[in-house]
């Protein structure tokens, strides 16, 4: 099941912060993100009351920027990232989003395969973007 998280659910935000501390390394980072960035949207994938995956986007007027899509290591290759990505694509269609963009490390082969599966196209290379590793800017046109 995929659910949307908002600033009003502090206990869930704290659980996400703890579960995904690899993404949110500083104390209360996710809570601060909600407070400081009105475009932040978080969607989580839950199974048996456990948060297994997260999708963090910025919903900026007529486009989405994917900041993170992350599945706990022991639950990878089970279709969770696909379900999260399909969810945000369908949400984008309902909300008349023009495009969805993201950046991915050039060496993250599995993520690139996932994005290609959903018709994201390479738009630019960002040299050394990830501490010396090139980043690929990808876009899915929605309209």
- pLDDT tens for 119-142 read 999 999 999 888 899 999 999 999
pLDDT of 106 higher than 90: yes
pLDDT of 15 higher than 90: no
Q: Which stretches within 47-124 are classed as H helix? A: 80-94, 109-117
Chain center to CA of 94 = 18
Strands 99-105 vs 121-130: parallel, antiparallel or unpaired: unpaired
pLDDT-based confidence at residue 6 (cuts at 50, 70, 90): confident
pLDDT of 8 higher than 90: no
Classify residue 76 as exposed, middle or buried by CB count within 10 Å of its CB (0-12, 13-18, 19+).
middle
CATH number for the region 2-141 comes to: 3.40.630.30
pLDDT of 143 higher than 80: no
Return mean pLDDT, the chain. 93
Sign of the CA dihedral with 69 first, then 91, 80, and 10 last: positive
pLDDT of 26 higher than 90: no
Across the range 7-22, mean pLDDT stands at: 85
Tally of residues, the chain: 143
């Amino acid at each position: 099941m995929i659910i949307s998280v908002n600033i009003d659910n502090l206990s869930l935000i704290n659980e996400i912060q703890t579960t995904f501390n690899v993404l949110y390394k500083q104390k209360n980072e996710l809570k601060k993100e909600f407070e400081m960035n009105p475009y932040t949207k978080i969607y989580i994938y839950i199974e048996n009351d456990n948060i297994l995956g997260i999708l963090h986007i910025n919903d900026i007027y007529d486009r989405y920027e994917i900041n993170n899509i992350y599945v706990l290591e022991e639950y990878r290759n089970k279709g969770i990232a696909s379900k999260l990505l399909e969810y945000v694509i369908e949400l984008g269609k309902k909300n008349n989003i023009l495009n969805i963009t993201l950046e991915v490390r050039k060496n993250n082969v599995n993520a690139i395969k996932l994005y290609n599966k959903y018709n994201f196209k390479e738009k630019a290379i960002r040299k050394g973007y990830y501490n010396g590793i090139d980043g690929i800017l990808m876009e899915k046109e929605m309209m």
